[in-house]
Structure 1
Amino acid sequence: MEIYICTIVLISLFALVELRCKLTNVEYKFMYSILYVLIVLQIGLRWETGTDWMSYYNNFQDTVDIDIVLVNSVIGFEIGYGFFTFLIRSLTNNYTIFLLFHAIIYYYLIFQANKKLSPFPFLSLLLFYVTNIGVLGSNRQLLALAICLYSLKFAIERKAVKFFILVFIAFLFHTTAIIFIVYYFLYRDLKKYQIISVLLLAFIIGKTSLPNVLFSGVGNFLGGASLSKVDVYSEIGTGGDSLTLVGLIRRLLYFILFFVNYDAIVSKFKEYKILFNGFLFGLCFYFLFSSSLTILVNRGSLYFNVMEVFLIASQLLLFTVKADRKYIVLIVFAYSIYLFFQSISVYSDLFLPYKGIFINTEYKRNLY
């Protein structure tokens, strides 16, 4: 527990310095590097901590030749992740080394994307850490998410080839990443009536059978592992993790905040457009599938809900007086503690206490 809290406190202090002081480029890079190394070591040196531990651990130990990679790509482990695992497994059978490589790549992409997508990188990094700690262990989708976020700068710069290549690579790590393609078309201003109309239409369609038909059609088109996953998701339907009323209310409150401040923030931070539209698309995605394919919302919404961290950080552009920003950071710090516990609430026993190769090594965690 102390490991997580100390990390949250440190990032919060850096966020406070960022908002209160004018940092030189060297100072900023030094602080950013400290956090990168700290978080990479924390996540890379964990042991039996996080979701899906045994499935990924066993997959790593079993991936001893290319044939296994090809077989796994049919039954659920995408071929990109399979080759990534095989490459490291060919060098070592030490799972900690694999986790370190995974953390180095994942957080490098996240930290690089964060600098482009946030006017206050330390603040958004704090929010990213606490809101995504609960999916730690979802190795394939985390790498896919990181690649997608990194690709956003090419969508903003209208470099289509680079953007689509990166999304395709992310797709090879987790099938759900294909939905990220929509971001290339979201770097635009939408009229307020268009935004409301799209939300209402998504809500109405979500109450029909059309989302199921559309989802099955996409699976048939992609084939292979994608079709297999579509079948599984369709059978599960709404039998996956429940989507709570609290979650919906939070999304709507966020939407109102981001929507009301849209014009004022876009004038100062152009990237806000694609962030807001991504969040809007995620809300539509929620309305479309929350009544029929709950598990799809849980898996696919990650690529849109993550925009919350950058959008919330962007709100501080409205506070021009540095003294005011200080109090906002204190509020965000308190809120981040709440978000941390909410993030791990479903599987808190897999995160508390933190267990690593040097910390709490004697602790016995039930992984079955």
Structure 2
Amino acid sequence: MAIYIFIFILFFLFSYLEIRTSIEASQKNVLYIILYSFLVLLVGFRWETGTDWNQYLKNFTNSTSIDTIIVNILLGFEIGYGLFTFFIRSLTDNYTVFLVIHAILYYFLIFRANKQLSPFPFVSLLVFYVSTMGILGSNRQLIALAICLFSLKFVLEKKAFKFFLCVLIAFLFHTSALLFIVYYFLNRHFSKVFIILVLLGAIIIGKSSLPGMLFSNIASLLGGASASKVDIYSENVVSETSLSLVGLIRRILFFILFFVNYKILSIKFLPYKLLFNGFFLGLVIYFLFSSSFIALAGRGSFYFNVMECFLLSSQLLLFKSKRDRAYLLLIFFVYSYLIFFQSISEYPELFIPYKGVFINTDYFREY
């Protein structure tokens, strides 16, 4: 647990410097590099820590030929991730090297996207880190998420080809990334009446059998592999962080906060409307599919709920005083600490204690 506490303290100190002092851009970049390096080492040097450890280790070990990529596709590993794994496997059989390269790519894209999507990058990174800790180990979806978040800059710049190309690449790592296409149409203002009516409509429709039937038909059109995934996911129970009552209440409360402050913050910070609409759509997806297709409510809304970290950091813009922002940072820090434990609550034994190639090497973790 000590290493997690250290990262927490690092996040807090850098966030405090960001909002309380007037540091230059070059100094902030140095802090950015320091934090980036620590996170890459933390994730890259882990061992038997995180979800799906055995599956991904076995996948890497067996990725010795193109034929194995085809076999792995049938087992549910997308071709993009398969080629990525095969390329690194052809260079080394050391899984730690693979994890380090994966972490370098993942956090590079996340950090680049974060600078574009947050007025206070260190604060949003803190919330993002704790919110996604529970899926550490989901290599394919993490890369897909990073590519998708990076692609939002092209939505803001109205570069459609580059955006759709990024989503296509993300789709090759995890099919769920296809949902991200909708973001290209979300960088606009929607009336408050429209937003409320859509939410009410989602609640009503979600209680019927229509959403599950519709999504199953769409998946069937995409092919047998996608259809089979729908069947498998529809029987799975996703993590408590996705579908718990506490999680739902939290999202609703945050939605109200983001909704009330929308007008002023969309003026102060231009990406706010895109971020808000994404978060709003995540809530709609939850209400539509939480009763009929649990996996979509959890996995599908993942690409939209993640906007919470950027929207929360944007709330600091409402306070002109640096002292007031520092007080709010304390609240964020406590909140992040609680969310960290909620994020890993389904399988805490996979994260605590942290086991790495140099730390707690003798600790036995049963998978």
Calculate the TM-score normalised by the size of structure 2: 0.98
Residues in 1 aligned to 2:251 and 2:25: alpha-carbon distance in whole angstroms: 35
Q: Over residues 235-264 of structure 1, what are the superposed CA-to-partner deviations in whole Å (9 max), with x where a residue is unaligned?
A: x16x55462221111111010000000001
Cα drift, residue 332 of structure 1: 1.1
Cα drift, residue 225 of structure 1: 2.5
Partner of 1:166: 166
Partner of 2:45: 45
Q: Structure 2: which amino acid aligns with 1:39?
A: L
Cα drift, residue 227 of structure 1: 2.2
Partner of 1:146: 146
Residues in 2 aligned to 1:173 and 1:359: alpha-carbon distance in whole angstroms: 30
Q: Structure 2: which amino acid aligns with 1:338?
A: L
Moved >6 Å (runs of 4+): none
Cα drift, residue 39 of structure 1: 0.4
Partner of 1:26: 26
Q: Which runs of 5+ in 1 are unaligned?
A: none
Q: Structure 1: which amino acid aligns with 2:355?
A: K
Partner of 1:118: 118
Partner of 2:184: 184
Q: Over residues 27-69 of structure 1, what are the superposed CA-to-partner deviations in whole Å (9 max), with x where a residue is unaligned?
A: 0110000000010001000000000000000010011100110
1:1-368 counterparts in 2 under 5 A?
Answer: 1-234=1-234, 236=235, 239-241=237-239, 243-367=243-367
Q: 1:173 is paired with a residue of what secondary structure?
A: coil
CA contact (8 A) 1:75 1:228 kept: no
Residues in 1 aligned to 2:244 and 2:60: alpha-carbon distance in whole angstroms: 34
Residues in 1 aligned to 2:345 and 2:233: alpha-carbon distance in whole angstroms: 23
RMSD: 1.0
Q: Over residues 88-111 of structure 1, what are the superposed CA-to-partner deviations in whole Å (9 max), with x where a residue is unaligned?
A: 010111000000010000000000
Residues in 2 aligned to 1:230 and 1:331: alpha-carbon distance in whole angstroms: 39
Q: Structure 2: which amino acid aligns with 1:145?
A: L
CA spacing shift, 1:80–1:192, aligned 2, 3 Å: same
Q: 1:267 is paired with a residue of what secondary structure?
A: helix
CA contact (8 A) 1:78 1:225 kept: no
Residues in 1 aligned to 2:224 and 2:181: alpha-carbon distance in whole angstroms: 20
Q: Which runs of 5+ in 2 are unaligned?
A: none
CA contact (8 A) 2:286 2:298 kept: no
CA contact (8 A) 1:124 1:312 kept: yes
Residues in 2 aligned to 1:294 and 1:241: alpha-carbon distance in whole angstroms: 10
Report percent identity of matched pairs.
61
Cα drift, residue 144 of structure 1: 0.3
Q: 1:50 is paired with a residue of what secondary structure?
A: coil
CA contact (8 A) 2:140 2:174 kept: yes
CA contact (8 A) 1:134 1:344 kept: yes
Moved more, 290-299 or 56-65: 290-299
Residues in 1 aligned to 2:248 and 2:339: alpha-carbon distance in whole angstroms: 15
Q: 1:270 is paired with a residue of what secondary structure?
A: coil
